Amino acid sequence: MTRIPQWMMSARVLAGLSVAALICLAALFAPLLAPHDPNEQTLTSILLPPAWLPGGQADFPLGTDSLGRCVLSRLLYGARIAMTVALLSSFGAMVLGAVLAHVAGYFGGAVDWLIGRVVDIWMSFPPVILALIFMVGLGPGLRNVILSIILVDWTRFCRVLRSEVLIVTRRDYVTAARLLGFSHWRIIAREIAPATTPLLITLASLEMGIAVIVEAILSFVGLSVTADTPAWGQMIADARLSIYQSSWNLVFPVLAIFVTVFAFNILGDGLRRTLDVRLAEAQRA
Amino acid sequence: MSLLVARDLSVSASIGGETLPVLQSLCFSLAPGKILGLVGESGAGKSMLGLTIAQMLPPGFACSSGSLSFGGEDLIAMPAVKRRALLGRDIAFIPQEPLSALNPVLTIGQQIGEHLARLGLATAAERKARALALFDSVHLPQGEQLLDRYPHQISGGMCQRVLIAMAFAGKPRLVIADEPTTALDVTIQARIVRLIVDMQKRNHTAVVFITHDLRLATHICDDILVLYAGRPVEYGPARRLFSAPAHPYTRCLQLASPSMRGERRALLALPERMPGLRAWKDLRGCAFAPRCPVAIAGCSQAPPALAETAPGHRAACIRSAETGGIVAPPPTAVAPAGEHQPVLQAQRLCKTFAIGGLFRRMRFSALRDVSFELRRNEFLGIVGESGSGKTTLARLLVGLETPSQGRIRFATEVSDTRRQRRSEIQLVFQDPQSALNPRRRVGTIVTQSLEAEGTATPAARAERARELLREIGLAPEMAARFPAQLSGGQKQRVNIARALCASPKILVADEIVSGLDVSVQAQLLDLLIALRRQRPFSMIFISHDLSVVRYLCDRVLVMYRGEIVESGATGEVFAAPKHPYTRALLAAMPPDDPSAAWAPALFESDAGSAP
């Protein structure tokens, strides 16, 4: 089995994956790549335009903000927050949502009803407002941002996966495993979960994009990480005040969010196209 | 003057850069008022003819040479507008799946009205009167109410009758019926076939009847064309073709299906299976040669031409003369029938399901007072049509459902945990596609019960897998394959092997051969008989096919609406049925003798009540 798996051949997956990997690397090596300390203020050169524009300095490739901090350095360090939140919170939401979805879909009955109603109630709240409420309750900090995104977004996984679990559970091979005397958990882990994993992976990559946006919103309103940690949402909030003097400050963090989310979305779309069993089967037939 | 004439009609498909022959040099002519049977196994290319006529071939498929003329006009070269005018008016179709052929969001009345409007009935009143007359002609009762029903509110048989009514509405000159009865119950099947033949006679319509059932085709068709691997292998008058087949394949098809009368004879199980589409291109000689019992070296040299063996009877075989000499193998000694010691007793089993939502809750009784016993080393057949409670009974026996009343007793006392039932009773599933986890390899699937025990080492499992695969007649290398890489028959073998792994005393087989072709079915039935000789076990064999039950089982239970209406030794029950329902089931089977009269009951006007 040395063949390259089919999902690696998709242009969307490759594009999305390589952009996401680049951003991850930039975040990982931010201390090496960044020309300045992200919090170092050079009050003599505030609101500089990017280096290639008149008035720009080679020392600050993407210019400086209203406090004279290097925009490039802050973007690189901000990627650390964005990527940490994207990876951990989507993973957490995936685990929580998937476990509940499998329990609901497999056991059915009262458990299914209960989980279904909780999801209904949960999804009736506007997600960002719910995240804000959690942040107010939990207090600021990276860990709490991740936690609140998990607590808000597990429902996306739960609802979509549950119907998939229902379909797989009705397959005869699941009944066969029950007849052979496997335990419920073993059946879920060995027979059902492998069939739902492709969908799970697809949903997780889409969720990463959503998590980046939610984190940006939270840090925009100042409810995410503390002010001494650079985050993209914070940069937008800061740039908002000097939007008429220097629009560049706004453009770069927005662009960073856009590129990241776009990468995760085309990755998710590509994975869906190649991993979705039903689509793949229809093409083969 | 022939209505539909095919001359060297060939259809090819370009898949992945290759051009593959799908149909090769099809020749036939169909006169008005006649029925042509197109017979072949699944994948032989039967449905391609209908698709070619409608120009609904899948992407990549095209008619590559030859001609197909309808009433003197070439259907292939005809402009699309003209063909569309013909379809539905002069040429009508009866589909295989009645439920999916009707639009679920429109009422029957809307759909038939739309069709009649296209046929030129201008006013709504006219259309309604005509629709009611049509319903009457297909024996559909209460036409007024039926017009307002949606397809899901009526049975599959009724849907098919609506479609037959629609097909014959425009007094077409040609009707293509593509396996119109496969999705239906046995007794309904026979009635639908009878109805199509009646309508055809009344309207003097020509019919192309596509089926996999040679016996059925013999009874209703005037001519039969047998297809194998996309090639016509035999073409001739139906009765003659059945009584004196000139191609070994036709003969083997006959000998592969169990008979309903006379001595129980062994089946001729052809080795292997029909080559797949991709292999057809590389076949140098006769496509059937690798499986043919009378093949000689010359058979794989060049493809044989369709040559006349008798007036109007042609066969593509250089060994035509030897065909008559093909006989079924001598009957194998049947394993000693069941001893009297029961291994399982069902005592007054009842199962009631609650259906419906919070309001309007209804109780539906799926099984009523079912009692029987299964003896050691006995094969017990259960027959009945869908909804008779066969599958519910199977699920109760293996412990997937609990009975509402009554009890199931095993010879050895087992508690209700599945772990303990495992070595007592196992279920073989109907649909191998769904019964095998597509992400597991065959080797781990067949030894799943060792995995459940959790004591076997990987080496022991691999050894057991090899052993099981040998027992069910698959090569040991198959252990490394995934289910998607197996054919339908092979999948069903793996399915059986998994159930056998725990060495259960009882196997419950739920319609395990119903989706398979005759030759593969014969292989599986023989496998079950061979397994029974090697290791004694009892089996409950659920099927709607009486001939298969007659071939395999010692005793039979006939179920109707959740109750056992008749039981006894298979031979006796089928030779002298006592209950009217058993008689109805038997009457629905086309007889073995092609010249015997076969007149299945017509639909009574109050269809739906007891037969």
Span A202-236, pLDDT tens digits: 899 999 999 999 999 999 988 888 888 899 999 99
The residue of chain B nearest to residue A169, with distances taken between CA atoms, is B434
CA A161 from centre of chain = 18
Beta strands, E only, B291-447: 307-310, 313-315, 342-355, 362-375, 379-383, 405-410, 425-428
Beta strands, E only, B438-592: 506-510, 538-543, 555-560, 563-569
Helix (H, G, I), strand (E, B) or coil at B73: strand
Q: How far is A179 from chain B (nearest CA, A)?
A: 6
Residues of chain B with Cβ-Cβ distance to A194 below 8 Å are: 437, 439
pLDDT reading at A90 higher than 90: yes
Residues of chain A with Cβ-Cβ distance to B449 below 8 Å are: 180-181
B392 at the A interface (CB within 8 A)?
no
Helix (H, G, I), strand (E, B) or coil at A259: helix
Q: Choose the weakest-confidence range: A142-156, A254-268, B44-58, B379-393.
A: B44-58
Q: What is the DSSP string of A165-186?
A: HHHHHTSHHHHHHHHTT--HHH
Q: How far is A117 from chain B (nearest CA, A)?
A: 17
Closest partner residue to A181 (CB to CB) among B422, B431, B437 is B422
* pLDDT bucket at B137, cuts 50 / 70 / 90: confident
CB B596 within 8 A of CB B589: no
Query: Among residues of chain B, what percentage have pLDDT more than 90?
Result: 29
CB pair distance less than 8 Å for A172 and B437:
no
Closest partner residue to A171 (CB to CB) among B417, B419, B434 is B434
Which of B338 and B384 is assigned the larger pLDDT?
Answer: B384
* pLDDT bucket at B606, cuts 50 / 70 / 90: very low
CB pair distance less than 8 Å for B418 and A181:
yes
Q: Which residues contact B430 (CB under 8 A, 6 or more apart)?
A: A172, B510, B511, B512, B514, B515
Helix (H, G, I), strand (E, B) or coil at B187: helix
Owner of token pair 């006939």: B558
B452 at the A interface (CB within 8 A)?
yes
Length of chain A (residues):
285
DSSP letter, residue A70: B
Q: In what order do the strands lie in the sheet with B555-560?
A: B425-428, B506-510, B538-543, B379-383, B555-560, B563-569
Burial of B599 from C-beta contacts in 10 A (0-12 / 13-18 / 19+): exposed
Beta strands, E only, B16-160: 18-30, 35-39, 61-70, 73-74, 91-94
For A269, the token pair is 């779309």
* Strand partners for A124: none
pLDDT reading at B611 higher than 70: no
pLDDT reading at B607 higher than 60: no
Q: Residue B341 has what pLDDT?
A: 83
pLDDT in tens, A10-20: 888 999 999 99
Q: Residue B609 has what pLDDT?
A: 38
pLDDT reading at B267 higher than 50: yes
pLDDT in tens, B560-589: 988 999 999 998 999 999 999 998 888 888
Q: In what order do the strands lie in the sheet with B174-178?
A: B91-94, B174-178, B206-211, B35-39, B223-228, B231-237, B313-315, B307-310
Q: Measured at the alpha carbon of residue B204, what is the angle toward residues B202 and B208, in degrees to the nearest 5?
A: 110
CB pair distance less than 8 Å for B435 and A177:
no
For the ranges A104-113, A242-251, B262-271, B304-313, the maximum mean pLDDT occurs at A104-113
Using CA atoms, how far apart are residues B253 and A184, in angstroms rounded to an integer? 45
Using CA atoms, how far apart are residues A18 and A25, in angstroms rounded to an integer? 10
* pLDDT bucket at A283, cuts 50 / 70 / 90: very low
pLDDT reading at A1 higher than 70: no
A1 at the B interface (CB within 8 A)?
no
B434 at the A interface (CB within 8 A)?
yes
* pLDDT bucket at B597, cuts 50 / 70 / 90: confident
pLDDT in tens, B45-95: 888 888 888 878 888 888 888 889 998 888 888 888 888 888 888 999 998
Q: What is the mean pLDDT of residues A96-101?
A: 96
pLDDT in tens, B143-187: 888 999 998 888 888 899 899 999 999 889 999 998 888 777 788
**What is the CATH code for B4-87+180-187+204-325?**
3.40.50.300
Helix (H, G, I), strand (E, B) or coil at A52: coil
For an interface test with B, the pick among A168, A178, A179 (most B C-beta atoms closer than 10 Å) comes out as: A179
* pLDDT bucket at A48, cuts 50 / 70 / 90: confident
A193 at the B interface (CB within 8 A)?
no
CB pair distance less than 8 Å for B434 and A180:
no
The residue of chain B nearest to residue A191, with distances taken between CA atoms, is B437
Q: In chain B, which among 114-173 make CB contacts under 8 A with chain A?
A: none
DSSP letter, residue A188: I
Closest partner residue to A172 (CB to CB) among B429, B451, B452 is B429
**Other beta carbons within 10 Å of A90:** 27
* pLDDT bucket at B305, cuts 50 / 70 / 90: confident
Rounded to 10 degrees, the C-alpha dihedral A248/A250/A251/A255 comes to 150
> Domain B377-403+414-587 has what CATH class?
alpha beta
B485 at the A interface (CB within 8 A)?
no
pLDDT in tens, B34-53: 999 999 888 888 888 888 88
CB pair distance less than 8 Å for B435 and A180:
no
Torsion sign (Cα): A181, A187, A190, A195:
positive
Type of residue at B457: T
Q: What is the DSSP string of A194-254?
A: HHHHHHHHHHHHHHHHHHHHHHHHHHHTT-SS-TTS--HHHHHHHHHHTTTT-THHHHHHH
Q: Choose the weakest-confidence range: A125-129, A159-163, B195-199, B512-516.
A: B512-516
The residue of chain A nearest to residue B423, with distances taken between CA atoms, is A180
Using CA atoms, how far apart are residues A245 and B490, in angstroms rounded to an integer? 74
Residues of chain B with Cβ-Cβ distance to A180 below 8 Å are: 418, 422, 426, 448-449, 451-452, 498, 502
CB pair distance less than 8 Å for B427 and A195:
no
CB B246 within 8 A of CB B234: yes
CA B49 from centre of chain = 20
CB pair distance less than 8 Å for A180 and B502:
yes
pLDDT in tens, B355-389: 766 666 778 888 999 999 998 889 999 998 887 88
Residues of chain B with Cβ-Cβ distance to A171 below 8 Å are: 434-435, 437
- Chain A to chain B, count of Cβ pairs less than 8 Å apart? 57
Which of B118 and B334 is assigned the larger pLDDT?
Answer: B118
A5 at the B interface (CB within 8 A)?
no
Using CA atoms, how far apart are residues B563 and B499, in angstroms rounded to an integer? 27
CB A192 within 8 A of CB A101: no
A175 at the B interface (CB within 8 A)?
yes
Q: Residue A139 has what pLDDT?
A: 87
Closest CA to A14 of A278, A283, A272, A271: A271
CB pair distance less than 8 Å for B498 and A191:
no
**Residue B43: C-alpha distances to residues B48, B68, B210, B523 (Å):** 10, 22, 13, 18
B439 at the A interface (CB within 8 A)?
yes
Closest partner residue to B400 (CB to CB) among A175, A182, A194 is A175
Query: Among residues of chain A, what percentage have pLDDT more than 70?
Result: 95
